[in-house]
Amino acid sequence: MSEPAPAIISFDVPLSTRVVGGQFYVFGEVESTNDLALQLGSDGAVVVAERQTAGRGRHGRVWHSPRGMGLWFSVALEGHLRGLPFAAALAVRDALQPRCPVVIKWPNDLLIHGRKVCGILVEHRGERNALGIGLNVHQRLEDFPEELRAKATSLELATGSRFDRAALLRDILTRLDERVLALRGNGYEAIRREWAHTCDLKGRDVRYGGIAGTVKDIDEHGALIVVTVQGEHRLISGEIEILTQGV
């Protein structure tokens, strides 16, 4: 049995952000925070839930979001924000890095010791983006479904330390605010470069969909350029397996 869920997240001091967190919605249980962010959020609105019953990842995959175990939240952002998936990964990394050895795996998963601790999914509808972030915080191994136990981790599982979700959320939203302002200030290329450098894939061997190759570069859109025996491929979606260390 898991420990009782901590109290619903609240901040003692208001956020000092400029865009992110202008509105704050906290729910006990929702289907998906991204759905709510797309429906009701104005620019910068944050939707947090203690539990998602239908949290999702890429192309309808389930994101396991048990009550009180993590941070399940979405940020509504207006307009075309090129590079938002990369900016969000950098923001979460920056918030977590003082606490644990987290790395970004292309395109924007966050891993500790090779296991996924955080997933990010941006959904764009009309003029609005829902930036969904799921961060595993309190789970013990037995709290994950069996099929995830070899692949997933939580901050507490990976570090053995205790974490305060409100403090984590505050730090992530603060970092995110900086990155969103940078994107809106014509900062796409700087963010893409920093993110691509952080992904650290150049020269590594990777495998995807039964094909193996060596990463030549990350292009201006963030796609992986992989050299295989069949020639050069450009990966724009999906999951890679990293086979070798960097050069």
Q: Which residues bind other proteins (CB under 8 A)?
A: 56, 58-61, 84-86, 107-108, 120-126, 208-211, 221-223, 231-240
HSE-CB at 68 with a 13 A cutoff on CA atoms is: 7
In this complex, which beta carbon is closest to other proteins, that of residue 141 or of residue 236? Answer: 236
Question: For the chain, how many residues are written?
Answer: 247
DSSP3 helix / strand / coil % (the chain, rounded to 5): 25, 30, 40
In this complex, which beta carbon is closest to other proteins, that of residue 163 or of residue 195? Answer: 195
Shortest distance (Å) from residue 174 CB to other proteins: 22
Single out the residue of 8, 51, 11, 5 nearest to residue 167, CA to CA.
11
Amino acid letter, 168: L
Single out the residue of 168, 10, 13, 195 nearest to residue 98, CA to CA.
168
In this complex, which beta carbon is closest to other proteins, that of residue 32 or of residue 136? Answer: 32
Shortest distance (Å) from residue 89 CB to other proteins: 9
Shortest distance (Å) from residue 140 CB to other proteins: 27
d(CA 16, CA 92): 17
Question: What DSSP element (H or E) covers 158?
Answer: helix 155-159
In this complex, which beta carbon is closest to other proteins, that of residue 120 or of residue 157? Answer: 120
d(CA 171, CA 26): 17
Shortest distance (Å) from residue 233 CB to other proteins: 4
In this complex, which beta carbon is closest to other proteins, that of residue 67 or of residue 124? Answer: 124
In this complex, which beta carbon is closest to other proteins, that of residue 29 or of residue 232? Answer: 232
Shortest distance (Å) from residue 93 CB to other proteins: 15
Single out the residue of 188, 190, 187, 226 nearest to residue 208, CA to CA.
226
In this complex, which beta carbon is closest to other proteins, that of residue 120 or of residue 176? Answer: 120
Shortest distance (Å) from residue 229 CB to other proteins: 14
Contacts of 49 (CB under 8 A, 6+ apart): 26, 27, 28, 29, 30, 33, 65, 72, 73
Shortest distance (Å) from residue 62 CB to other proteins: 9
CB-based contact 64:57 (threshold 8 Å): no
